[in-house]
Amino acid sequence: MISSDSRLSDSQISTSRRELLRGLAVAPVAASVVASPWGGTLAALHRRYDDEPATLARTKEGRSISRFRYHNAERWMTTLEADFLAEPRFAREALHQAGFVCQQALCAYLLDMGFADGWNASYIKQDIAKALAYANACGFGHDCPDTARLAGVLSPYWKWGYYYHDWEEDRPRTGGFIPTTITPLVRALVDRVHDVTGHPRPKGCQRRPKEARS
């Protein structure tokens, strides 16, 4: 039987994402990732990627940049969802567009969590798989196997901005992704960023009721 003291202890150490972010926002100095519930997981990622340890510190400026990045993702998402990119022959173009949207969306989340914009620019760059790994390591909660596989195909997404002949052996592989399978995965990721950050959608990008998820 679990004692009432044990239940109380569990309750005390169970910190919600919102409570943690509030604590980071009011901290007088930058809060080290070691002090966060995700310190161990983030430290493992720093070692895996040989990255300089990040410092989480939520600021008004960071929140503002986060909102700007999220709005960028939503606006460019409209191009990805456009009919002219829906045909399978446009898979490479769709992957390049998807890479940019995912980068903006995931960096919006990391900024909202307190990662510095400069740190993202230096260590995330255009690596969507790494951005997703860091986001999930600190509470993003988007553990979709298909999204993880797409992130691997996208990374680094600049490679999809170049033209390759079919005979070029070093051309990037699409992994079987086509626009009709890419777009729903990216839309779900952008919606997740919207949900967890609380950023309002930009004007002109409001989703119609029939498009909203149940």
Q: Identify the CA nearest to 123 among candidates 107, 136, 137.
A: 107
Q: Give 159-176 pLDDT, tens digit per residue.
A: 998 887 777 788 889 999
Predicted confidence (pLDDT) at residue 23 exceeds the cutoff of 60 = no
Q: For the full predicted model, state whether its pTM sits above 0.85.
A: no
**Mean pLDDT to the nearest integer, 121-135:** 97
Q: Give 37-94 pLDDT, tens digit per residue.
A: 788 899 999 999 999 999 889 999 999 999 999 999 999 999 999 887 888 888 999 9
Average pLDDT of the chain? 83
Q: Identify the CA nearest to 197 among candidates 138, 112, 137.
A: 112
**Mean pLDDT to the nearest integer, 190-206:** 92
Residues 6+ apart with CB under 8 A from 205: 71, 74, 75, 77, 78
Q: Name the residue ranges covered by the structural domains of the chain.
A: 60-211
Assigned token pair, 146: 């298909």
Amino acid 14: pLDDT: 33
